Each structure stands twice: as structure tokens, then as C-alpha cells.
Amino acid sequence: MWAAEQTPKRIPSGDRAARKRKAILEAATQAFLREGYQVGMDTIAAEAGVAKVTVYNHFGSKEALFTAIVGEILDRALAESTRLIEERLGSSTDVRADLVAICEAWVAGHATPEVLTLHNVVMGSMSRLPDLGRTWRELGPDRFHVIVRTALAELVGRGELEIDDVQLAAIQLSGLVLMPHISYGSSGAVPDADLTQRLITGGVDMFLARYRPSADGTATPDTPVPPVS
């Protein structure tokens, strides 16, 4: 685990403290996105217009501050897709349309400069600070996949899908529709609107081709892969 620099005895409260906390989070977000995790707490404090000790009083450590920022950014990135899953997918009467809408919101939330830059900060620092990767995974993919798995299990229970391993299926859906945007977007090559839509609808169709029951009530079989000559 990362070494905590200080541990606050009591987090400051009240309107004035809330304003300072907001200023710290805003300044720290810009500093981390601009300079990476190596940015100094002195820089963050100066840009927030507070004393360095105030930053520690609110967050205790650089780790806790960064975790709070990752949590806030991923909360925003996942908010709409999470809402759609919880409200529509498990009881869906048009699984394809609802999956497409959810995946559109999922991609739109992540394919932003803020999220893509933060992803690069995390990936670029993992060789020295592997817990950064754990933080990203726990607050992003792991948390969201639990919600996806719950909805997929409900669809399986209703006979809309045939899935033996919902954990695997959730990861596969993410790989089909989200990961191309993360991979390309993190290198500055964000897919245009037409390609984005094709990736989403094509990914959903591939997912459903694998997991939607066939006319006789059995899961669609895997398509055999021809041997390489």
C-alpha cells in the first residue's frame, strides 16, 4: 500500500471548509491531469489558494486525494449508463435497443479528455505505484461490471439471454464496445462519430449473437474459427 503522509484526526466541516475542499479538489484534478501523479502537494496547495497543511487536514495523504478525484471523475463517467442499466436493462422488452443506449452512454462518459487523460496518468504510474491501477479498477470497471452482471443475470432468468458465466459476459461486452475507445482515445486518436456508432452497434450485435437464445430455445453456438493455412 502507499505510505500515508499524514492522517487527519478530524475532517474539517462547515461552509468554509466545504469551499476549501472544493477548491482543493478542483486544483488537484487539474494538477494531476497536467503533470501526472508526481505533482507535488505544494503545487496543489498553491493552486488551490490554501496552506499545504489544509490539504492534509482534508485528505490526509496524496493517495487519498487522488482516490477522491478518481472516484468523482468515474462517478460522472458512469452515472448515465448506470442509471439506464438499473432502470431499463433487467426488465427490458427490447434488449438490443436498451443495450445500445447503455453502451452509448458508457462510451460517451469515458471518451472525454478528462477521463482519457486520467487513465493515462494511472497507466503511466503503475510501474512505480501499482496501487493506482487497483484504485482505477475498483472504482471503475469492477464496480460497473457488478451492475452489468446483475442485469444480465435478470435477463437470463427471464429467458432473454443464455449465459453460463455472467462475469465473463460483462467483460466481453466491455471489450467489444468500450475498450476500442479507451485504447485509441488514450493515444489521442478518438474515433469519429460514425466509427463510434459502428463500434457500439457492432459490438452489441456480436454480444447478442453469442448469448441470445436461438429459435429452438438453446444458446447460439460459437462460430467455428477456420484453421490458418
8 Å CB contact between 109 and 140: no
Residues 123-177: tens digit of each pLDDT: 988 888 888 889 999 999 999 999 999 999 999 999 999 999 999 999 999 999 9
98 and 33 share one domain: no
Could you give the C-alpha distances from 40 to 5, 7, 31, in angstroms and in order? 12, 18, 9
Question: In percent, how much of the chain has pLDDT > 70?
Answer: 89
**Does 100 reside within a domain?**
yes
72 Cβ contact list (under 8 Å, min separation 6):
25, 29
71 and 94 share one domain: yes
8 Å CB contact between 58 and 21: yes
Measured between alpha carbons, how far is 11 from 17 in angstroms, rounded to an integer?
9
Q: State which residues form the domain around 39.
A: 15-60
The CATH number for 111's domain is: 1.10.357.10
Is the pLDDT assigned to residue 5 strictly greater than 50? no
Measured between alpha carbons, how far is 92 from 49 in angstroms, rounded to an integer?
49
The answer to whether the pTM exceeds 0.85 is no
91 and 154 share one domain: yes
**Does 5 reside within a domain?**
no
**Does 222 reside within a domain?**
no
88 and 170 share one domain: yes
The number of distinct structural domains making up the chain is 2
**Does 4 reside within a domain?**
no
Residues 77-107: tens digit of each pLDDT: 999 999 999 999 889 999 999 999 999 999 9
